[in-house]
Structures are given as structure tokens and as C-alpha cells.
Amino acid sequence: MVLMDRSAALACIIISVILLLLLLPPPCSSDDRLVPGKPLSAAATVVSDGGAFALGFFSPSNSTPANLYLGIWYNDIPERTVVWVANRESPVTNGTTLSLTNSSNLVLSDADGRVRWSTNLTTTAGSTTTAAVLLNTGNLVVRSPNGTMMWQSFDHPADTWLPGMKIRIKYTTHAGERLVSWRDHDDPSPGSFTYGVDPDTLLQMFVWNGTRPVRRDGPWNGYMVSSQYQANTSDIVYLAVVDKEEEIYIAFSVSDGSPHTRYVLTYNGRHQLQSWNATSSAWAVLGDWPTWDCNHYGYCGPNGYCDNTVKLPIVPTCKCLEGFEPASTEEWSSGRFERGCRRKEAVHCSTDRFLAVPGIKSPDNFVLVANRTFEACAAECSSNCSCVAYAYANLNNSRSKGDTTRCLVWSGDLIDTEKVGEWLGSDTLYLRLAGLDAGKKRNREKHRKLILDGMSKSKEVGEGNHVQDNEFPFVRFADIALATLNFSEAYKIGQGGFGKVYKAILGGQEVAVKRLSRDSQQGNEEFRNEVILIAKLQHRNLVRLLGCCVEGDEQLLIYEYLPNKSLDATLFDGSRKLLLDWTKRLNIIKGIARGLLYLHQDSRLTVIHRDLKAANVLLDTEMKPKIADFGMARIFGDNQRNANTRRVVGTYGYMAPEYAMEGIFSTKSDVYSFGVLLLEIVTGMRRNCTCNIMGFPNLIVLSWNMWKDMKTKDLADSSIMDSCLPDEVLLCIHVALLCVQDNPDDRPLMSSVVFILENGSSTSLPAPNCPAYFTQRSSEIEQLRDNIQNSKNTFTLTNIEGR
Ligand SMILES: *[C@@H]1O[C@H](CO)[C@@H](O)[C@H](O)[C@H]1NC(C)=O
Ligand SMILES: *[C@@H]1O[C@H](CO)[C@@H](O)[C@H](O)[C@H]1NC(C)=O
Ligand SMILES: *[C@@H]1O[C@H](CO)[C@@H](O)[C@H](O)[C@H]1NC(C)=O
Ligand SMILES: *[C@@H]1O[C@H](CO)[C@@H](O)[C@H](O)[C@H]1NC(C)=O
Ligand SMILES: *[C@@H]1O[C@H](CO)[C@@H](O)[C@H](O)[C@H]1NC(C)=O
Ligand SMILES: *[C@@H]1O[C@H](CO)[C@@H](O)[C@H](O)[C@H]1NC(C)=O
Ligand SMILES: *[C@@H]1O[C@H](CO)[C@@H](O)[C@H](O)[C@H]1NC(C)=O
Ligand SMILES: *[C@@H]1O[C@H](CO)[C@@H](O)[C@H](O)[C@H]1NC(C)=O
Ligand SMILES: *[C@@H]1O[C@H](CO)[C@@H](O)[C@H](O)[C@H]1NC(C)=O
Ligand SMILES: *[C@@H]1O[C@H](CO)[C@@H](O)[C@H](O)[C@H]1NC(C)=O
Ligand SMILES: *[C@@H]1O[C@H](CO)[C@@H](O)[C@H](O)[C@H]1NC(C)=O
Ligand SMILES: *[C@@H]1O[C@H](CO)[C@@H](O)[C@H](O)[C@H]1NC(C)=O
């Protein structure tokens, strides 16, 4: 062992100490607390024990010199997300320090000692053993030596509401904390939006813009736990309203193991529930309010309500409460709801009834009547003629003086009502209606139920001539324009005589939007009425009309979107046609027949399609057919029955001769088109095929001749040869030939067609007369038709004799 020189050893020790000092992290930087005498500099942070949050200085913008704020943010995620700011109104510069004083105050002071922010506690208590601790919940707490909490940041919220944080209001003063938005995304000074408990009622929450309400949550009803935000099975948010003797507060918690979750009031006034997604390393927005336009406070006007229960893709929109109608139909159906709804029939007090409307977010401007049973609450309202509605709940927890009842009554207009569906947090609103109306309502419900139950029998939907205007969804043009990027080509999926078709996502789901060309002759009012009528035509073989839009000279229809393309795109495609074996084809034929029968006879409207063709039959996921574009003839203004029209809509080759040549249409012209379509489905050949092999000019002639020669089974598409039954093929061809007969009176009604297809055999049918057909191109036909109509003397059609 070699003994070291004493001085050398000392020097070594000193160097070691200096090295050690240099290697030590700066004081406090990894500690979770601040103690008197050890201020926090702008370069340092305090990190909670557990590592979830950090306290320190940050600069939200790139200004020079940097504007610094003291704040708390998440420490363990890469995106700097500030949840609390101390000096929101007075940014500081580098050189500022945060210190905890002997009197238990947190003080932010400039380099020159000027105080820029302080917790302002007036207590004299405190000592060097006081500490400010950043808890792992994100709460900065100042504790006195005996452990009592002197101050906490959770009592002074910024724009963020964290689990465990209470938003409170005092019974005595009606004063309470609110979330206050930032002014801008990079400016933490207080913005105009706030979120807190309604100081007037202490029963509901609001988002305000200044003093104006933006969004209201309905009044609490005693069911306090909500778990509807379930982004991840382990990520559930529990909201609770807690009613204490002196104050009421709302708080939330999340289940163990959940990712970071927070409510935030954004600088632009949105109230959001966000959850950190570690996979995408970003905040996922689980809730965003107001979600829809009509969730904005009072958007639907007096006595209107926002219907959130509509099935997407229809976007929730305004409706009138039962017994009310739009104050202005014109404004209402073009998406302007501010004037709301008026009573259809005045109430008369003694003869009135109350209608129970479940699943409601109760309207605003209620009066709380204390200590009432449900019966007493009902009596309170019905005995007072100016009371228009009531709602009752048992709050199930002790309110001040032990009263747990919640009897709400309304007089005057009902504002900011929403239909939210029947979940635990919703109310049943008891609505005063004139006696007669209440009776009507019941009948109508019964009628509707009957109709829905009997849907398979395809009965008329709706009640006589009563147009249920306010139940039909009108979508705003702006929403459609947005969803289609202003009708860009990329979204276009089709184009027809009536206009272009776009695929769009509205309210989260795919829809097909048809933007009608401008030559519709109808005014908006007529259009609206037609659409409402047509929307009532509901049958499983018709494409569903989901909504429409009428604004200015824009008229649009919104349909369900069917991903499996049209029959045209399937039947005549070499590989896709293999998807259609004989069983599927027969089902398609029967389905189209039933859909057409419904249009012709079973709906009281008698809709003549006028453009039935393979391209207008869409296939659903099970390859079941749905007829599209029905009712277009009505919309385009020709709503007479057996009428003579100047403008022939339709597709040459499918059109009955009397319609193509003379413009005469009837249900029998649809039957003709159906016959052509039937031939196409069986043969897999287009109607205008030249059928060169056999030397026939088109499919009808070919079929007629094959039938006459009893070679029908050779007509079946080669791809179904193995799967088809010759008798069924024969029956279909026979029916088709009956449908394409020259004389409309000879053609069967669709009811007969459906019957024959379901039950018939070819042997019991009459022999078809020879079919009519024509081969001219459309321009020639138009010219020919003009000649006919001008001279009115000849009617020429080529009748084909079989060979
Ligand atoms: C303040 O200045 C120090 C030293 O110049 C620097 O390290 C620190 O990052 C600055 N703090 C902030 C918040 O800009
Ligand atoms: C705080 O207390 C310490 C020790 O008790 C004392 O030295 C110091 O002067 C006090 N500071 C203030 C600002 O009162
Ligand atoms: C503390 O008091 C000062 C002066 O009265 C005031 O300007 C400041 O807003 C108060 N700070 C807090 C956090 O209440
Ligand atoms: C703890 O200290 C605070 C102030 O420092 C005082 O108000 C409170 O009474 C004390 N509590 C107990 C239990 O000593
Ligand atoms: C908030 O109110 C201001 C002033 O009244 C207004 O200009 C602004 O458009 C409002 N913002 C929202 C989102 O309502
Ligand atoms: C009512 O309160 C009791 C006791 O706190 C609780 O067990 C029950 O689930 C509550 N009921 C509802 C509907 O919230
Ligand atoms: C769901 O939560 C569990 C438990 O916290 C977590 O392990 C998992 O990664 C989460 N899944 C997603 C998709 O966020
Ligand atoms: C998280 O993000 C990933 C990637 O974007 C996504 O696939 C996943 O669904 C997200 N998880 C949640 C719970 O939102
Ligand atoms: C009836 O209701 C109105 C409005 O709520 C109220 O002002 C009035 O006092 C009530 N009348 C009686 C007799 O309770
Ligand atoms: C509520 O009303 C009942 C009967 O009317 C009465 O006995 C009770 O004391 C009242 N409770 C409160 C808290 O006012
Ligand atoms: C759609 O057109 C409007 C008005 O021309 C324009 O303001 C808007 O930016 C356009 N939107 C898109 C997505 O192109
Ligand atoms: C038949 O009509 C379709 C359009 O309906 C057309 O694309 C096709 O070229 C026509 N075929 C013949 C042979 O004319």
C-alpha cells in the first residue's frame, strides 16, 4: 500500500466534492415540493411524486422577450399540455422566481423584487416547515406545519377540469368557481368563455360566452353517475353531483388504470372531454359540446327542441314539441329556427291534458317548487293555468334541510329543450296540451304503430293527408357542402337525368346525396311537400330517403348509401355477375316486382317510376334489390296519372312505346320497363344487345323468338346454367313477354306479376302477343315524336312477326 501525500489527498477530496457538486442536479428540480427559502427559478421545475405532473414556467408563444407563465402541465407525455396557470393576467420574464413565504404564501416576484402574483393568504400562521406540494393529481397544495391545507390550485381552476377537482357553488352567496377559457391558443389570459354551475338555479351547468349562455346541461335529476364515455373498456368517466349543507359541487373521476383524462374549455368555446392516446401520442376527443348546431343554447327557438335521438347519418336538428308547429314553415324548413314553434291549438286550462314526453333534457327557465311529492307537483301545475309543463325527480341525496324532491314547473315559452333518449339522466317532461290535441296524438301514435307493424304488408305510412312536416329531417346546405368539399368530383358517385349523386359522410355515416339539376319546375314549397310524401314510401325494396335540403335554388335529397353498386354494374360485369346465381337473381326479380307493386298500388300515392332500369336498382350487402330514383317524376312536376307529358324522362330501350313516342305514361309503362329488366336479369344481356349470333336486333326480339321456338332455356345466362331451374326461367321469360306487349291494356298489373312469380306456372298463363319495340336512337325518336304530335295523324311502330 502506498501512502499518499497529505496535501495531495486533501486536494483529491476537494476535487471530488466539487465534481460531486457539479454532478448533483440543481436543488428542487426533482423534488415534489417547494419550501421557504428555496425559491423556484424560471429554469427549474417541481415534479409530482409519481411523475404525472410538473410545475414550472412556460412560454406559450414565440414572443421576445419570452412571456413566461407559472403553470402545471403533464410531465409524462410528449405534448406540453398546460392544465393550470397562476399568473394568467400578468406574464413575467426570465429572472422571475416563485417562493413560498414564512406566512404560507406562494409569491411570484420579478428579478427586482416586484410581486407579480400571490396566493394572497391573510393568515399569519406558518413557518419554515410549511410546504407547497405538487400532488400527482395535478393539484398544487400549500400545507401548514400541522398538515392543514391552506391553499390549493384546484380551488382556482383555469381552463381544465381534472379528476378530483370540484366545481362548486355556495348556497348562501351563489358564488362559485368556473373554468375560464384561454383567450387564444397561445394566450392564457382569461377568455370570454366560462363553465360552471348556474347561479340562478344551482341545478344545472352552463357554458357561457361572457354573460350569454352557449350550452346548457339539463337539470340534475338524482342519477349522478354517468359512464357513457367509454373509449377504452378501462377508461370510464364517473360524474357526480354532491350536495352539501353549504355548497353543491360537481366532480368526476376515472377508473383505475385509465390514461390521462380531462375536461377542457377551449379558447374557442368548446367544452371537451379528452383522453390521452399513447398509441397515437395525441389527445383523443371523447366528447365535444355543443356537438351539433341544435345543441347550442336556444337554437331551436321557443317551444322547439333538438332531437338527438335521430339515427345517424341524419344530423340532429330542430323539431316542434308535440302540439306545436313552426311559427314560419318557410324559415323552419330552410334551417332558420330562431322563431321557434307556436301552439296549434290554444290551451283552455280546464279541458287540457298533460302529455308525458320521456327522454328529455328539460327546458331552461324553470321554477323549483320545494318539498312536493310527484302528485303534488302535477297538481301544482295543472291547477295553475299559466303553468305549461312540469318535470319531477327525486334527487336521492340530502339537500339542504332534508328536502330531496325536485319539482320543476314552467310558464311561458319552453326554451332549450332537447330530446336525448331515455337514459337515467333524462327527464320525463309533462307537457300541457289542449284536450283535442292530446287525443289526436294518441290516435296518431296508434296509427303509426299499426303502420310500422304492418310494414311487410306495405301499407301507407302516415296519416291521410296530414303532412308531418316537423318530423322530417331537413339538412342544412352548408353541412352538405362541407361534407362533399363543395361537391367536388372526388365525391361524385353517379350522374343521371335528375342530377349528380355524391357520397358523403353526414353525422358520421355514409349517405348518398342527390343534387337535383335546376330544371325541376317546382317551387320550394311544392318540392318540400313532395319530398315529405315520398319519404313516407318505405319498403324494403325501395332505397330509403333519409332527408332533404331546400335552400335558395338548391334542392337535394339524401338517401341511404348502398355499397354494393347497382344491378347494372353487377349484372353486366364479367366477374361481378358471378355473384348473382339463379336463386339471387330470382329474389332480385321478385324484390323489384314487390317494390314496384308498392309504388303503384299499395302506397296511396300511386307513384309511377318512369325510369326503371338496371342502373336504378341498387343491391344491398345481401344482394337484395332496392329501387332508386322513385318519385322523381313527381318531384320534377309531372304528377298527373295517365298523363301526356312534353318532356319524356326515362331511358330509351326500357321505355314503353306509347310513352317514348307519345309521352303517355301510366303504371303500364313501368310494367313494360320491368319486363325489359326481367329479360336482362335472366339472360345477362343488355336490352340493346345486338345479339349478332342469332341475328336479332335486340333482346326483346330475341326472347320473343326463342319463346315461340320453345328454346327459352337457352336464354338463361351461361353463368347460371348450372344453378337455374328451367321451369322458373321459362316462367320469368313468359312473364317478361307479357309485360312488354304492345298494347298497354294487355300487360298485367304488378299485383298479377307478383302473384305469378310467387305461385304461377307458365302453363296457366295466356300466351303473350307479339312485343313492341323500336330501335331508333333517342334523337330520332324525339324528332319522330314531334312529328306525331304535330300532325296527329300517324302512329308508327314496328311490329315484329315471329319467324
Ligand atoms: C431562463 O433563462 C435560463 C438561463 O438563460 C434558461 O436556461 C431557461 O431556459 C430560461 N427559462 C425559460 C422558461 O425560458
Ligand atoms: C422566515 O423565517 C426564517 C427563519 O425563521 C427567518 O430567518 C426569515 O427572516 C423569515 N423571513 C421572512 C420573510 O419573514
Ligand atoms: C392578490 O392581491 C392582489 C392585490 O390585491 C390582486 O391584484 C391579485 O389579483 C390577488 N391575487 C390572487 C391570486 O387572488
Ligand atoms: C393547523 O394550523 C392552522 C393554521 O396554521 C390552524 O388554523 C389550525 O387550527 C391547525 N389545526 C390543528 C388541528 O392544529
Ligand atoms: C362570443 O361572444 C362574442 C361577443 O359577443 C362574439 O363576437 C362571438 O362570436 C361569440 N363566440 C361564440 C363562439 O359564440
Ligand atoms: C340513491 O342513493 C343510494 C344510497 O346512496 C344508492 O345506493 C343508490 O344507488 C342511489 N340511487 C340512484 C338512482 O342514484
Ligand atoms: C386501454 O387501457 C388499457 C389499460 O390502461 C391499456 O393497457 C391499453 O393500452 C388501452 N388501449 C388503448 C387502445 O388505448
Ligand atoms: C389511439 O390511436 C390509435 C392510432 O391512431 C387508434 O388506432 C386507436 O383507436 C386510438 N385509441 C383510442 C382509445 O382512441
Ligand atoms: C301560477 O304560475 C305563475 C307562473 O309560474 C305564477 O307567477 C303564479 O303565482 C302562479 N299562481 C298561483 C295561484 O300559484
Ligand atoms: C315537507 O312537507 C311535509 C308535509 O307537507 C312536511 O311535513 C315536511 O316538514 C316538509 N319538509 C320540509 C323540509 O320542508
Ligand atoms: C366552399 O365554398 C365556399 C364558398 O365558395 C368557400 O368559402 C369554402 O372555403 C369552400 N370550402 C371548401 C372545402 O372548398
Ligand atoms: C347499350 O346501352 C348502354 C347504355 O345504356 C351503352 O353504354 C351501350 O353502348 C349500348 N350498347 C349497344 C350495343 O348499343
Q: What is the pLDDT of residues 267-277, one digit of tens each?
A: 999 999 999 99
pLDDT bucket at 637, cuts 50 / 70 / 90: low
pLDDT of the residue at 681: 96
Mean pLDDT, residues 678-698: 81
The question of whether 611 is a catalytic residue gets the answer yes
SS percent in the chain: helix, strand, coil, step 5: 25, 30, 45
C-alpha cell at 640: 298527373
Q: Please name the residues in contact with 718: beta carbons below 8 A apart, sequence gap of 6 or more.
A: 684
CB 572 less than 6 A from any atom of ligand 6: no
- Per the model's pLDDT, the better-predicted residue between 127 and 295 turns out to be 295
- What rounded mean pLDDT belongs to the chain? 81
| Residue of minimum CA distance from atom 14 in ligand 10 | 371
- Per the model's pLDDT, the better-predicted residue between 527 and 772 turns out to be 527
Residue type at position 540: R
Ligand 12 centroid, distance to 653 Cα (angstroms): 10
Catalogue all structural domains in the chain, each as residue range(s) with its CATH number.
29-155 (2.90.10.10), 160-289 (2.90.10), 304-433 (no CATH), 444-560 (3.30.200.20), 567-797 (1.10.510.10)
**Among 45, 106, 54, which residue's Cα sits nearest to residue 83?**
54
Q: Range with the lowest mean pLDDT among 155-164, 181-190, 300-309, 683-692? A: 683-692
Q: What is the pLDDT of residues 538-566, one digit of tens each?
A: 899 999 988 888 888 888 999 999 988 89
Burial of 711 (0-12, 13-18, 19+ CB in 10 A): exposed
Contacts 24+ apart (CB under 8 A), 655-661: 656/744, 656/772, 657/742, 657/772, 657/773, 657/774, 657/797, 658/744, 659/610, 660/774, 660/781, 660/785, 661/774, 661/781, 661/784, 661/785, 661/788, 661/795, 661/797
Residue type at position 572: F
C-alpha cell at 134: 405538487
Question: What residues line ligand 9, using a CB cutoff of 6 Å?
Answer: 367, 384, 386-387, 411
State phi, psi for 76 to the nearest 5 degrees: -110, 20
Q: What is the pLDDT of residues 96-115, one digit of tens each?
A: 999 998 888 999 998 888 99
Among 352, 416, 611, 638, the one annotated catalytic = 611
DSSP 8-state symbol, 185: T
**Among 582, 649, 593, 581, which residue's Cα sits nearest to residue 617?**
593
Mean pLDDT, residues 125-150: 85
Question: What residues line ligand 1, using a CB cutoff of 6 Å?
Answer: 42-43, 57, 59, 66, 68, 94
- Per the model's pLDDT, the better-predicted residue between 206 and 316 turns out to be 206
Which residue from 90, 104, 120 has its CB within 8 A of the most atoms of ligand 3, so it is best to mutate? 120
Ligand 11 centroid, distance to 479 Cα (angstroms): 11
Q: Say if residue 388's pLDDT is above 50.
A: yes
Question: What residues line ligand 7, using a CB cutoff of 6 Å?
Answer: 232, 234, 257, 277, 279
pLDDT of the residue at 688: 80
pLDDT of the residue at 235: 57
Contact yes or no for 758/788 (Cβ under 8 A):
no
CB 258 less than 6 A from any atom of ligand 8: no
Ligand found nearest the CA of 269 = 5
Helices and strands: H and E segment counts in the chain = 15, 45
Ligand 3 atom closest to Cα of 86? 13
Ligand 2 centroid, distance to 102 Cα (angstroms): 6
Contact yes or no for 677/561 (Cβ under 8 A):
no
Ligand 10 centroid, distance to 424 Cα (angstroms): 27
Question: What residues line ligand 10, using a CB cutoff of 6 Å?
Answer: 371, 401-403
Q: What is the pLDDT of residues 568-594, one digit of tens each?
A: 999 999 889 889 999 999 999 999 999
Most confidently predicted of 247-261, 290-304, 695-709:
290-304
| Residue of minimum CA distance from atom 5 in ligand 2 | 128
Lookup result for grid cell 311487410:
456
440 marked as binding residue: no
Coil, strand or helix at 42: coil
Ligand 8 centroid, distance to 281 Cα (angstroms): 9
Mean pLDDT, residues 31-51: 92
Ligand found nearest the CA of 698 = 12
Mean pLDDT, residues 780-794: 41
Coil, strand or helix at 68: strand
Q: Please name the residues in contact with 747: beta carbons below 8 A apart, sequence gap of 6 or more.
A: 668, 671, 672, 675, 738, 739, 740, 741
Ligand 8 atom closest to Cα of 284? 14
| Residue of minimum CA distance from atom 2 in ligand 5 | 209
Ligand found nearest the CA of 254 = 7
Q: Say if residue 445's pLDDT is above 70.
A: no
Ligand 2 atom closest to Cα of 103? 14
pLDDT bucket at 252, cuts 50 / 70 / 90: confident
pLDDT of the residue at 496: 72
| Residue of minimum CA distance from atom 4 in ligand 1 | 43
C-alpha cell at 135: 400532488
- Cα–Cα distance measured from residue 471 to residue 702, given in angstroms and rounded to the nearest whole number: 50
Contact yes or no for 463/447 (Cβ under 8 A):
yes
Q: Please name the residues in contact with 384: beta carbons below 8 A apart, sequence gap of 6 or more.
A: 409, 411
Ligand 2 centroid, distance to 125 Cα (angstroms): 13
Contact yes or no for 560/511 (Cβ under 8 A):
yes
pLDDT of the residue at 113: 85
pLDDT of the residue at 17: 42
Mean pLDDT, residues 612-634: 89
- Cα–Cα distance measured from residue 291 to residue 148, given in angstroms and rounded to the nearest whole number: 42
Contact yes or no for 28/34 (Cβ under 8 A):
yes
Ligand found nearest the CA of 268 = 5
pLDDT of the residue at 426: 87
Most confidently predicted of 187-196, 484-493, 713-722:
187-196
Q: Please name the residues in contact with 587: beta carbons below 8 A apart, sequence gap of 6 or more.
A: 623, 624, 625
- Cα–Cα distance measured from residue 36 to residue 45, given in angstroms and rounded to the nearest whole number: 16
Ligand 10 atom closest to Cα of 371? 1
Q: Say if residue 7's pLDDT is above 60.
A: no
Which residue from 94, 97, 98 has its CB within 8 A of the most atoms of ligand 1, so it is best to mutate? 94
Mean pLDDT, residues 206-222: 93
Q: What is the pLDDT of residues 696-716, one digit of tens each?
A: 778 888 898 888 888 888 889
For residues 46-76, one letter each, b for 16 or more C-beta atoms within 10 angstroms of the residue's C-beta and e for the rest, the string is: bbbeeebbbbbbbbbeeeeebbbbbbbbbbe
Q: Say if residue 803's pLDDT is above 80.
A: no
